[in-house]
Amino acid sequence: MAHHKSAIKRIKQNKKKCERNKHVRSTLRTFIKRVREAVEAKDGSRAKETLSAAIPVIDSAASKGVIHRSNASRNISRLTKLVSTLG
């Protein structure tokens, strides 16, 4: 257990950040999964809708520092390519 006031504060801050990051990461995965499910179901219109909803979520996760900006860019690129295969 931490004894210094600053160490106790740091533990509290880390716990808060961890919870916030966990929520953002979980939401991100859900949106990505929805796009992939729509593509598997061969539903082009739903895939495009879910992709347009997923892109801002991915970008916001990158801007918050939850994922790296290259990771976000890669995810968006791959999902876009996947949706475009439906025609």
pLDDT for the residue 49: 96
pTM of the prediction? 0.86
Confidence of residue 79 (pLDDT cuts 50, 70, 90): very high
> Closest by alpha carbon to 53, among 71, 22, 78, 27?
27
Confidence of residue 2 (pLDDT cuts 50, 70, 90): confident
Contact 58, 28 (CB under 8 A): yes
pLDDT at 87 over 80: no
The greatest distance separating any two alpha carbons of the chain, rounded to the nearest whole angstrom, comes to: 61
User: pLDDT, tens digit, for every residue of 15-59?
Assistant: 999 999 999 999 999 999 999 999 999 999 999 999 999 999 999
pLDDT for the residue 41: 95
